[in-house]
Amino acid sequence: MKTNEIDFTKKTLSEITIENYKYAEVFEKYGLDFCCNGNVNYSEACESKGIDETKLSVELKEARVLKDDNEKYENWKLDFLVDYIVNNHHRYIAEMIPKITEHLNKITAKHSDKHPELKDINESFSIVYKDLQHHMIKEEKILFPYIKQMVLVYDGKAKNEAPYFGTVENPIRMMEDEHKNAGDLIKKIRELSNNYTVPSDGCTTFNLAMNELKDFEEDLHKHIHLENNILFPKSVALEKQLFAN
Least confident range from 51-60, 161-170, 214-223: namely 51-60
Are the C-beta atoms of residues 42 and 9 closer than 8 Å to each other? yes
Same domain, 130 and 213: yes
Indicate whether 1 belongs to any domain.
Answer: no
Q: What is the pTM of this model?
A: 0.80
Contacts of 60 (CB under 8 A, 6+ apart): 8, 16, 23, 26
pLDDT in tens, 176-197: 999 999 999 999 999 999 999 9
According to the model, what pLDDT value does residue 194 have? 96
3 falls within a domain: no
Domain boundary among 71, 94, 118: 71
Tell whether 86 and 65 lie within a shared domain. Answer: no
What's the alpha-carbon Rg for the chain, to the nearest Å? Answer: 20
Q: Is the pLDDT at 69 greater than 50, yes or no?
A: no
C-beta separation of 74 from 230 below 8 A: yes
The residue range of the domain holding 51 is: 8-71
Helices (H) and strands (E) in the chain, counts: 11, 0
